[in-house]
Structure 1
Amino acid sequence: MPSFSASTVALLALTLTLVVIAFVAPVRAADPAPATDSAAVERACRDYVDAIYDLKPELIDRSVSPNLVKSGFGFNKKEGVYKQYPMSFAQLRELAASYNKDGKIPKDAPRDVVVLGVLDSIATAKLTASWGVDYFQLAKEGGRWRIRHILWQSHPPASAGTETDAVRRACLDYAEGIYLVKPENIDRAVHRDLVKVGFVQNGADPEPAQRPMSFDQLRTLAAQVNKDGKFGPSARKEVEVLDAMDQTACAKLTAEWGIDSFHLAKFDGQWKIVQVVWQNHRSKPRAE
């Protein structure tokens, strides 16, 4: 029988102990599910910025809807104007895989997320990052919160002001266009490239029905839906400007049909609604 030194025996005992610990130690969840809707919304937004900063396009798959509509306004310093840049889901994923390959984003770059509002099916949030500020409209689909629409802009100059009254007026034009049968209000307040989708819960259906709508469909709705006066003079049209900068803004409208989340942008000096997600009122109160 072979003999072993005391040091060899001690080493074998330590190795055996580590093997046993590896088998019996509980497995720690690497990515626990958020406890609340607000936390899940925040995590989706953090996935987005982490994907770009940390070269992890798989986080885009997790947090962003394939139906993403994204538009941004980068400030052209040479010309002194904002220029618009659209982006698809596929382009965003490619960006996440390559944008920071050369380490252009500073290690201490901001990843500041503020959740501006959460409802049953839709949510609104704001991200401040190295490139500027992103407004997010999120939707809960299949039990998971994903970013559906994005409107972003370069960091505004320190001297830039905000035009909350003009933003509020555009939102009221939208509501009054429908209530007062004035489709011309839609022409004034809504961009022709409008992207709008609603989430309507009917009865006991497990998932709300999605209702997309184009600019032309919205204009037709405004010309017809209240012809019989079902929405009276006291119909709700409560507008809250959630955040506003010099080129982009986000707002919330509470109306008779439900709650609309708006993203607005400034075109030739006029504020227009460019992205909308909305949901109908729900009879059962929700818990965050």
Structure 2
Amino acid sequence: MKKLSILIVLFLTVSFTYAQSDSDKKGVEKACMNYIEGFYEGDEAKLKESLQPTLNKFGFWKDKKTGEYKQQDYMAYEKALAYARNVLEKKQFAKPEAPKEVQVFDVGHVIASAKVRAWWGIDYILLSKRGDKWMIEQVIWEGPLEKPTH
């Protein structure tokens, strides 16, 4: 009976851990997809759903003339929302075939990391769990993709 009890406790522990991890992974994926779609669709609500107000985002863009990568301006939370508003106002939406890929690297109890592939390039994203929701804290990006689709 003691062995059966130990097996049941072990099974429940593993099952709970897997369920929590699967749920957390889906939460990270959702936050990252909101991020892409927020910029693609000019949807501020999706960005607000997944960006921390203390967002720290910066990246590098390849200069067409020199071929060198140059650091771009820092994008804080308000600037990200303004970018989305601009996309919506000017109807400069991403093309339907533009990439929307999310790869989750690691999910801890309250932190996670992921990679996003979008029309502008690749982003490495750090997230934190706030309550039951995953939020994007930091982003570093590089663009463009070899074959731009925007």
Q: Which residue of 2 aligns with 1:257?
A: 120
Aligned equivalent of 2:40, options 179, 200, 204:
179
Name the counterpart of 2:7. Answer: none
Give the C-alpha shift of residue 186 in structure 1. 0.8
Consecutive unaligned residues in structure 2, runs of 5 or more: 1-13
Which of 237, 241, 244 does residue 104 from structure 2 map onto?
241
The one-letter code sitting in structure 1 at the alignment partner of 2:105 is L
State percent identity of aligned pairs: 31
| AA partner of residue 30 (structure 2) | R
Q: Determine if contact 1:262/1:274 at 8 Å carries over to the other structure.
A: yes
Secondary structure in structure 1 of the residue aligned to 2:73 = strand
Matches within 5 A, 1:93-104: none
1:199 aligns with 2:66: no
Q: Which has the larger radius of gyration?
A: 1
Mapped contact 2:36–2:118 kept (Cα < 8 A):
yes
Structure 1, unmatched stretches of 5+, are: 1-157
Q: Is the 8 A contact 1:200 1:211 kept in 2?
A: no
Counterpart AA for 2:140: V
Hey, what's the Cα distance between the residues in 2 that align with 1:257 and 1:282? Answer: 6
Partner Cα distance (1:246, 1:252) in 2:
19
Change (3 A) 1:175 1:207: closer
- Within the alignment, does 1:209 sit opposite 2:103 as a pair? no
1:278 positional shift: 0.3
| 1:221 aligned onto 2:83 | yes
Alignment of 1:1-288 (within 5 A): 160=17, 161-162=20-21, 163-203=24-64, 204=66, 206-225=68-87, 227-281=90-144, 283=146
**Alignment TM-score, normalising by the size of structure 1:** 0.41
The one-letter code sitting in structure 2 at the alignment partner of 1:278 is: W
Q: CA deviation at 1:165?
A: 0.6
Higher relative contact order (CA 8 A, sep 6+): 2
RMSD between aligned alpha carbons?
2.1
CA deviation vs aligned residue, 1:113-133 (integer Å, no higher than 9, x gap)? xxxxxxxxxxxxxxxxxxxxx
- Return the TM-score normalized by structure 2: 0.76
How far did 1:207 drift? 4.4
Q: Structure 1 counterpart of 2:137, which letter? A: V
Distance 1:236 1:211 in 2: 23
Q: In the alignment, which residue of structure 2 is the partner of 1:154?
A: none
Distance 2:45 2:117 in 1: 21
Deviation string, structure 1 residues 91-137 (Cα, Å, up to 9, x no partner): xxxxxxxxxxxxxxxxxxxxxxxxxxxxxxxxxxxxxxxxxxxxxxx
Whole-Å Cα distance in 2 between the matches of residues 190 and 230 of structure 1?
20
**Change in 2 beyond 3 A, CA 1:232/1:210:** closer
* Helix, strand or coil at the partner of 1:208: strand
- Distance in 2 (alpha carbons) for counterparts of 1:278 and 1:212: 11
